[in-house]
Structure 1
Amino acid sequence: MKPSENLMKVLLVGDYPPPYGGVSVHVEVVHQAVRAQGGICQVLDVGKGHLPADGVVPATGYLACAAHLARYALRGYRIHVHTSGANPKSWMLASVCAAAGRLSPQPPIVTFHSGLGPEWLAADPMRAKIACAVTNAFGNVIAVSDEIRGALLACGVSGDRIEVLPAFSPSFLHPGTPPPGLREIRAEASPLYCAMLAPGPVYGKETLLRAFGRIHAQNSRARLVVYGPGTELMGAEVAQLCGEAAASAVHAFGELHRPSALALIAQSDVFVRPTLADGDSVSVREAVALGRAVVASSVGTRPPEARLVPPGDVDALAAALLEAAQEHPSLRVAPAPETAAKTDCLQRLLELYSGATGAPGTASNAPAAEPAVPARPAKTNDNTTTLVENPACAASVAS
């Protein structure tokens, strides 16, 4: 990437780690990328973490949030809000950011992340009208999947301003120190499955554990590691869903910092994404970039490398996991240049921040800000469910 001759001044509005969800990880990476290019970038953290971090300002209430937005806009910052688009608070935040953006000479940008957004918008005509009015007030609109773009178009949002851009970059993708105990699990596992889970049925925990129970019944050396908020509290639920014998082969690490979560993915054989709804999962793309075999439910947007199964289908998931474990994926030192260019959102975002125009969806083929350096140490020896979005929904390494 070539640094822009125009100084970038960007205010990112969205969740910032912790917790480590797809949106928060994406915001953190974009924050790093803008600064790496010599731009000025601040984050207005509207999430739950609010831990001290350089360049991050906590939004401690509605009035404080509005005041921060107005202050940065008047100082010439371009506002870029990252939100789900799947609940009233999300659209309230988007509307406030759109209004504040009028105070800045730089048109505001919005990215919609949640795969639950289309269904939520379609449930009420008034929601569609509000979405149309709010979204058309932004200069650029980014949808992380074609499904989300289609939902916005159905609401009446101008197609000229919408582009599809996955919230992923292979840059800054560096596995760190594995969590304690992983070495011993890795040594006894053949194969080792890995999944991110979080509270709520949308993450497909029940489907995953039932499928793993069937796998373990056929192969007692199979192991499953899970991470994410609340996983350390699953307890007896694991035995109920996958059986007493398989329960001892399931290891929960709770919420992990991103480098440790990447290390967990990198040392696994198969990454699993059993969600019942999705946008464009960052963790799936991270697993692909790290060279892991991936099995995912056929919802949202998935990279072509992923093996897809119907959401909620225990039999199909178990069969796909058994097949994927036979692939023996090789270590990937770095993504192929053409693949990295297609999946790297940072170049396009930097173009937008620096004032570069271009047709929506026409991301440059320039290389990412820095190469990914993944590493994988060698092995040592008719009822309906209502899907409710959680803060980490569509998340990444925590997604």
Structure 2
Amino acid sequence: MKEIQDIVRAYSRHTAEGKQTALATVVHVEGSSYRRPGARMLVSEDGQLTGAISGGCLEGDALRKARLAMSQGIPALVKYDTMDDDDAKLGVGLGCNGIIHILIEPISQDQAQHPLTFLQKIISRREVAVVVTLFCLQDRKAPQPGTCLLYHADEEILTPALPDDFLDQIQADVREARQNQVSSTKSYKQAENTYTAFLEVIQPAPALVICGAGNDVMPLVNMAVLLGWPTTVIDGRGNYATVERFPQAQQVLVAKPERVLENLAVDQNTIFLLFTHNYNYDLAMLRLLLPLPLPYVGVLGPKTKMDRMLAELQEEGYPLPEAQLEKVFGPVGLDLGGETSEEIALSVLAEIKAVLAHRNAGFLREKQDSIHAHSPAPVPEILSTE
């Protein structure tokens, strides 16, 4: 989501300056690559790049092709075969042992709906979205419809590039992707060509709520901003919870525990951290948070503090089902040997990321399989639209 946020901001800046732009998107990968489908890069006519489609190896060549696409006004599908010696001679050998397909779409401000309007709508709403990008792997010279459909729970937006006879089948697949919240690749047969659709499920950025406004919270806020996570700081002490102390926080509130939730819009992507150094405040917040469908609640302090809090809640007769306790992490953070506030912030945010990604946060060198899940075959199940 941070990459999308950066691209939208850059696009607004380029548009205000009257510059042409093009969007490069990784739409399909066979084998291994540095970036996966959904990685994006905005290119301006004067060569400014925002986002990334590789580790830096493809960007130079993609810039040249993006300028060509801008001049022609036509989307282009570009293939990079990192197993091909010719690509290495051109200076784009990635050493990733895979094939990467990049769709480059010139952005026309004359169109009411285009890829950047989709991205703008996605970051304006905190809900799951599905973006459909349609392309032809079979024939790169065939028309490439590109980013053609955005689906929210209560809204569906199409571009003129989406062929009418694709709509019914794609709609069913899009709703399934949103329901399962898993991106997928589908293929559809039309006349002499097979078109591939990348159905990308995009989750809202995690919203971080930190209860506590001590000095140790400052690095947490600064690092969360780098990740693109909107952050709220709350404390009962008015002289601590100030905008001057936390200028990068999206919101700074002074509130007692019982008033916290009424000041927030909490959803399934909201993360809470209890960093007040006040046992009673943290306990009151934990009592309020346990029933909510949150993915993560982190509690600062030793294990004895966490055990004492849970014991008190149990003595009150407060229900503590295992499903609720699994989302509570106390002591908070990964075991990185952190001592300073900055190091502790790093361990906490790393743990949150691992939990949200359903990873065990181990050493990559100890993984037996690839870092990323393997991509599907180039032409998956073919669904006829005829």
Question: Does the TM-score normalized on the shorter chain lie above 0.5?
Answer: no
Higher RCO (CA-CA < 8 Å; seq separation 6+): 1
The structure with the greater share of residues assigned to strand is 2
Q: TM-score range by the shorter chain?
A: 0.3 to 0.5
